[in-house]
Amino acid sequence: MKPSLRDRHAVAVSVDCLVFGYDEGQLRVLLIQRRRPPFEGRWAIPGGFVEDGETLHQAATRELAEETGIRKVFLEELQVFDAVDRDPRGRVLSVAFLALVKPSGLKLVAASDAVRAAWFVLEEVPELAFDHRGILDAGLQRLRADLLRRPIGLELLPRKFTLGQLQRLYEVILNRAFDVSNFRKKILGLGVLQPTQDYETDVAHRAARLYTFDLASYRSLMANGFRAF
C-alpha cells in the first residue's frame, strides 16, 4: 500500500466478541476484566485490534481464543460501532461480532489483555468499558430476533438435548411462556430435529427423549425460509 493511502485514511480497527452461553437454565454473557488502561480493571466484552493480513472474522476468533480460551464457536458479524469518541485513546472503529457457545466443556482461561474471564447473568452485568453496554443491548436484540427466524438456539445447547431444554431456552431468552404441546408440534414439524434412541437419566419424572440437530434438513429449511412463532 502506498503510504499516502494509509496515512490519510487510516483508522484503528478493533473487533469485539459478544459471547452468549446458556447454562443451568440461564442466558449468560462472557466478560473479561481489563488488564491495561483505558478502563483498567473494568469489565468488558472480549476483543482487540485487527492485525495485518487477517480478516475480521479471523481476528475475532483469535482474540476470543487468546483472552478466554474459547475455540470453535458460532461467530457472526453484528454491527459496527463508530462513535468518534468511543475510545479515549482516539478514533477506534469497532466491528462487533455475536458468538454463541455450547455449555459443554466451557473452560475459561483468561490470558493476554484479560485479568479474568467470567460468565454473567444478564441482570448482574456490571458497568462496562467503552460503549460495550450498547453492544450488549444490540446483540441481545439480534439474538431474540434471530431465534424466531432460524434454528440458532441449537448453537447454545449440547449435541443431544431434550425438547424441554429447548423450550426453556426459548422461554428464557424471549422472556415468555410457550404451551408445551404447541411447542413440540411446531418444532418437530420443522423437521430439523432428529430423534435419538437415548433418554434422560436420573430425573424425578418420566425421562425425556434426546434429540439432535439435523444439518441437512436445516439447509433446505433455510433455502426456503423459516419462521418459529
Partner DNA sequence: CCAAAAGTGTTCACGGTACACCCATGC
Partner DNA sequence: GCATGGGTGTACCGTGAACACTTTTGG
Where along the sequence are the contacts to DNA (CB under 7 A)? 162-164, 179-182, 184-186, 189, 199, 202-209, 227, 229
93 binds, among a copy of itself, DNA, none (CB under 5 to 8 A by kind): a copy of itself
Interface with a copy of itself, residue 142, by CB under 8 A? no
Among 54-62, 125-133, 150-158, 171-179, the segment contacting a copy of itself (CB under 8 A): 54-62
Least distance to a copy of itself, CB of residue 95, Å: 6
Is the CB of residue 152 less than 8 Å from the CB of residue 146? yes
Helix 163-174 × helix 180-190 angle, to 10°: 110
CB 89, min distance to a copy of itself, A: 6
- What whole-number distance in Å separates Cα of residue 80 and Cα of residue 92? 11
Residues forming beta bridges with residue 93, ordered by sequence position: 13
Partner from a copy of itself, DNA, none binding residue 202, C-beta < 5-8 Å depending on class:
DNA
User: Judged by CB, which is closer to DNA: 80, or 177?
Assistant: 177
Residue with cell 423437521: 191
- Cβ–Cβ under 8 Å, residues 73 and 100: yes
Choosing from 40, 51, 137, 179, the residue that interacts with a copy of itself (CB under 8 A) is 51
Helices 163-174, 132-149: inter-axial angle, 10-degree rounding: 130
Give the C-alpha separation, 161 to 164, whole Å: 8
Closest approach of DNA to the CB of residue 155, in Å: 20
Which range in 53-61, 123-131, 166-174, 177-185 contacts a copy of itself by CB under 8 A?
53-61
Q: Which three cell numbers stand for residue 7?
A: 496515512
CA dist 98 to 45, 48, 57, 185, Å?
11, 15, 11, 29
Residues 6-25, one symbol each (x = binds a copy of itself by CB under 8 A, - = not), give x-xxxxxxx-----------
Asked if 52 touches a copy of itself (CB under 8 A), the answer is yes
Which of residues 134 and 158 has its CB atom nearest to DNA in the complex? 158
